[in-house]
Amino acid sequence: MSRATLGDDSLQALGVGPKAALLDRASAAGLPVPNGFVVLDGTDLDPARLDSATAGAAHPGAGWRADRSPWGRLVVRSAFSTEDGATTSMAGRFHTVLGVVAAPAAVAEAIAEVRSSAEVLTDDERHRARLDVLVMEQVRATTGGVAFTEQQFEDDLVNATSGLADGLMSGTEAGERHLLAKLRRWERPDRSLEGWASRLSSLLADCRRVFGDADWDIEWADDGQTCWLVQIRPITAPPRRNEAFTIANHKEILPELPSTLMTSVIEAGAPDLLRFWSQADPSLPVHRPFVETFLGRPYLNLSMLTDLMRALGLPTRLVTDSYGGRPDVDVGLRPSRLLAKAPTLLRLGRSQIGAFGTAERAGRRVEHIEPSGPGFEAALDALIDQYVTLVAEMSSLAASLAPPTAVLKALRALDLHLGRHRTAATMMLDRLGPVRAAIDDGLGPGDERYDRAWAAWLDHHGHRGVFESDIARPRFRDDPTPILAAARGPEHRPTTDAGSRLRRWLTTPLWLVVKRSITARENLRDRSMRGFAASRDRLRRLAAEAVDAGSLPDADAVWDLTRDELVSMDRGTRFSAADLAERRARRATLLERRLPDTVRRFDDLDAAIGAEAASNRFHGLALTRGTVRGRALRASEPPSALPEGFERDATILVARSVDAGWVPIFNQVAGVAVEIGGDLSHGSIVLRELGLPAVTNLGEVGASIRTGDHVELRAGAGVLELLEGEPGE
């Protein structure tokens, strides 16, 4: 046999390579593939014989001849067996001849040229390769390009240009990048799409229907009426997408610039952070890099989190409303996808019903994780285990909390219940009573009553601290200055809304569900911080030993090294004072560079820094109610006391983020405005429990509001506004 027609579904059985075999299968399945045939390896290229051999190939039964193509021109391209495999595509290594005149001699000449390009193969490859050649009618394309449809993304990535896109394929044209929302079988293209984009979107969905929801590299050409499939092959080198990343969750729990060690711990644990979702459904889009570091800051992959919601048919705002930040895309509820993912959602639901019990067990485990041996490697493996367990269980609890919390908030009842609730974080202030009483009586360190009260407080809460998720940050037992400042100040008394008792009573059944998970979540964090404190102590001891051995210049240097660098010290690596001085100088430079809360992988970060526009009004998520006016106190770290001239009832704390370690300063201000955070952020829960007028997720306010500016916080409306008044300091 010398030729085979596309659409006969026979090429794979004949041993023809994937390029032509996949198109043959696509054509047989009814996909729009241009008419064509394959000249099999070894076919005589004498024009007369070629014409006879190809008669009827493209239009079986219609008497089609190469010199009578209704489209006038042909494309002759390689279909070698070495191409388009699962691990290597050999893209661009062999010739393609465009615009071939539909005449036997011209076709024969083009086939010979294509076969001659096999000279790039090694002798062994040429000996094993079939040199089949594909002849197809050339699409009169107005637009063409390449599309990547990947299982782990909810958008198909398209690179398009005018015409046949041969310049795009050869690398002489850049083309334009587009994202097309991935369609399920029962879905139709978005009405906002027109022309080739709408037709291509449907074609890609059909390709997934025929070939499976895998990773496909698809060449296409659109003639204004039909979007044609020109080639389909497995993706062997995935494109690097311009995904969006958010600092939202990390900005709440980590300092402006986390320690080098903590950043590397987060990077090492990142592949396991979403195991809760992958265990529920391995097909969910959670198998791509979750953490990337930009200028020393670990950002979370916001695009992946929103893709996760889209895959489940859930609103993407569930991500940002829970954790903070701005949505990469804003997509609402998709009932058809919810129905399709019902088994996954049921599995998630079952696991979330018992999430509080699982969290309790995880908390006990994290608190008592011990290294498997001596040295930095074992100690850091234990820390990574603690971190991953904490975050994975937090994600599970957050998922269980999101729906009922959203309902309570819509009913304006969430803050009513949280204002009467106490967790491990808010108990830090409540348990200061005996210490405050001793101070009020003029007692201090050395007095038995004071020492006993302070020791009891440290036993309960000494393992907590400011930005406690960073292992490098001191705990309150190491630096008690902030909490002692709160003990010397007035006792905080949360406000109550007596007029809302009926609403609180009616929503109590739902609140009991939320309460259990919130309590479990905060207890998990509290116990995990005990484990973190133990890991911190181990690392400090190892650092002291390294200093004595001459491997480190000082003990604090342990926080300036990565996990891999510390592990290398177990094998004899030493770091000099000059090494650490250079690192600390780089960190000082990075600390001066503030990044936007959301960045994209290909952003010019130098241009993005400080690019936020000034504004007088900011909108965020309302945490509580109440309106307060006063002077803004901007802070990226909790101050131990108010600056001179600031009064408690007229000070509004404006912070980049807050966590439980900010509790001492909450006791000294009238309201709190937070740049980034979510309904279920730890800091948000604490602020609701304290009853302070508070708003979170306001976005970057640094270009507009400075310490001393006159501001109004309308907590119930989620608004922070800069007022006319005295200038900032």
pLDDT at 49: 56
In this structure, what token pair is assigned to residue 246? 């958010």
pLDDT at 66: 42
pLDDT at 55: 43
C-alpha to C-alpha distance for 61 and 65, rounded to whole angstroms: 11
SS3 content of the chain, % helix, strand, coil (to 5): 45, 15, 40
What is the pLDDT averaged over residues 448-476? 94
Beta-sheet pairing, 3-5 with 36-39: antiparallel
C-alpha to C-alpha distance for 455 and 466, rounded to whole angstroms: 19
CB 582 within 8 A of CB 670: no
Name the region of 442 (left: φ>0; alpha: ψ -120 to 50; beta: rest): left
In this structure, what token pair is assigned to residue 294? 């930009």
Name the region of 325 (left: φ>0; alpha: ψ -120 to 50; beta: rest): left
Beta-sheet pairing, 621-622 with 297-301: unpaired
For residue 198, CA distances in Å to 23, 202, 222, 485 come to 22, 7, 11, 62
Higher pLDDT, 284 or 57: 284
Is 50 exceeded by the pLDDT of residue 727?
no
Confidence of residue 461 (pLDDT cuts 50, 70, 90): very high
Q: Containing H/E element for 697?
A: none
pLDDT at 54: 47
What is the pLDDT averaged over residues 566-585? 93
Burial class (CB in 10 A: 0-12, 13-18, 19+), 472: middle
In DSSP terms, 148 is beta-bridged to: 157, 217
CB 188 within 8 A of CB 181: no
**Each residue of 256-266: pLDDT tens digit?**
899 999 999 99
Higher pLDDT, 571 or 59: 571
Burial class (CB in 10 A: 0-12, 13-18, 19+), 173: middle
pLDDT at 69: 44
For residue 498, CA distances in Å to 411, 415, 503, 664 come to 16, 13, 10, 27
CB 625 within 8 A of CB 497: yes
What torsion, rounded to 10 degrees, do the Cα atoms 281, 522, 248, 244 define? -10
C-alpha to C-alpha distance for 574 and 597, rounded to whole angstroms: 36
Average the pLDDT over each of 571-575, 631-635, 677-681, 687-691 and give the range with the smallest value.
677-681
Any alpha helices (H) in 63-139, and if so which ranges?
104-116, 123-128
Most confident stretch, 114-123, 169-178, 217-226: 217-226
Average the pLDDT over each of 308-312, 324-328, 422-426, 656-660 and give the range with the smallest value.
324-328
For residue 514, CA distances in Å to 378, 410, 502, 669 come to 37, 14, 18, 28
For residue 572, CA distances in Å to 410, 535, 564, 568 come to 59, 22, 13, 7
C-alpha to C-alpha distance for 146 and 91, rounded to whole angstroms: 12
What is the pLDDT averaged over residues 371-389? 94
Q: How many CA atoms lie within 13 A of 72 on its CB side?
A: 1
Most confident stretch, 38-42, 315-319, 527-531, 642-646: 527-531
pLDDT at 728: 45
444 three-class SS: coil
Name the residue among 500, 309, 533, 361 with its Cα closest to residue 418. 500
For residue 676, CA distances in Å to 173, 252, 317, 672, 684 come to 41, 7, 14, 12, 10
pLDDT at 48: 56
C-alpha to C-alpha distance for 481 and 503, rounded to whole angstroms: 41
pLDDT at 495: 54
What angle in degrees, to the nearest 10, is found between the helix axes of 375-410 and 508-548? Answer: 160
Q: For every residue of 127-175, which 3-state class applies, written as one string?
A: HHCCCCEEEEECCCCCEEEEEEECCCCCEEEEEEEECCCHHHHHCCCCC
Any alpha helices (H) in 462-507, and if so which ranges?
481-488, 501-506
How high does pLDDT run on average in the chain? 84
pTM, full prediction: 0.78
Percent over 90 (pLDDT), the chain: 36
CB atoms within 10 A of CB 622: 22
pLDDT at 251: 77
First and final C-alpha spacing in the chain = 87
Residues in CB range of 197: below 8 A, 6 or more apart: 158, 178, 180, 189
**Each residue of 318-346: pLDDT tens digit?**
777 666 666 667 888 889 899 989 998 88
C-alpha to C-alpha distance for 159 and 149, rounded to whole angstroms: 12
**Each residue of 466-484: pLDDT tens digit?**
899 999 999 999 999 888 8
Q: What is the DSSP letter of 223?
A: -
What is the pLDDT averaged over residues 49-72? 44
What is the pLDDT averaged over residues 561-567? 95
Q: What are phi and psi of 36, to 5 degrees?
A: 180, 180
For residue 476, CA distances in Å to 663, 669, 704 come to 12, 21, 33
